[in-house]
Amino acid sequence: MTGPVDRPAPPPLPPVTPDPWTHLAGLTPARLALGRSGASLPSREVLKLGLAHAKARDAVHAAMDGDALANALAGLGRDTVTVESAAPDRATYLRRPDFGRRLSARSRALLSGAGEGVASAAGADIAVVVADGLSASAVDLNAVPLIEALLPRFAGRSLAPVVLAHQARVALGDEVGALLGARLVVMLIGERPGLSAADSLGAYLTYGPRVGLTDAARNCVSNIRAAGLGPDAAAAKIAWLVDRAFALSLTGVALKDGSDAAELPMSEKPRLSGN
């Protein structure tokens, strides 16, 4: 009977070499100054990347909690209408973006006036649409606080019931707004998750909504979340853009966001040179 075989100890793992840009890592959630172990990333950074990827995948496939949103908005005094796009399920929605841009037949009939409370809202100044998009978690976390911050800023303008849209893309707001006869649509939608944020909400503003518009006709306020643009700051930007949209009767590339300059003291505002 032979005794245990003496095996040589494995070589020690190379130490993690620090990155000279480490001081910049605290300024951004971007992956900077990760260091290296030999020729590879440190194990801790590989694991963090895997976790971020899993969170992004979960955000894309999760379902928006429409009932919870409707109850929360009822607490703010807002009625809601639930619609869905022409995509019958999540798998189809992800494969066919064009289906997510148009309403289902049932939803089209509902917004055309067949639904209780919808016909009476026709011709409202603003229609707010809350859509799952590519991150339902972004909507569940951020939509209600943002709407709560927007309501006092929309005082004096008529509002349609909040439309909760499932399996929706940004352009679905055009058809919703057109059917409601709204002058302007504010589409709040979950943005495509990245590896730094899976809970980012975007707000897309479209004046004179109608089917067939392109993104050149919209203004966007993005990265609305606790670790990005908070609800109060986002609401201030959106309200500024809405006021300018009504003043100019347009949104899109011709409407520039001057909300930051508008909040500066007069002495700090940029001077515009004229010819």
Q: Please enumerate, by residue number, every residue annotated as part of a binding site for adenosylcob(III)alamin.
A: 170, 191, 220
CB environment 205-223: b (16+ within 10 A), e (fewer): bbbbbeeebeeebbbbbee
User: Binding site: what residues are annotated?
Assistant: 170, 191, 220
Q: Give the residues across from 102 on adjacent strands.
A: none
Strands 126-131 and 162-166: parallel
Handedness of CA 110, 158, 230, 271 (dihedral sign): positive
Name the packing angle between helices 136-150 and 231-248 (round to 10°).
Answer: 70
| Residues whose CB falls within 8 Å of the CB of residue 237, separated by 6 or more in sequence, listed in order | 221, 229, 257, 259
Residue with tokens 């809601």: 80
DSSP state of 229: B
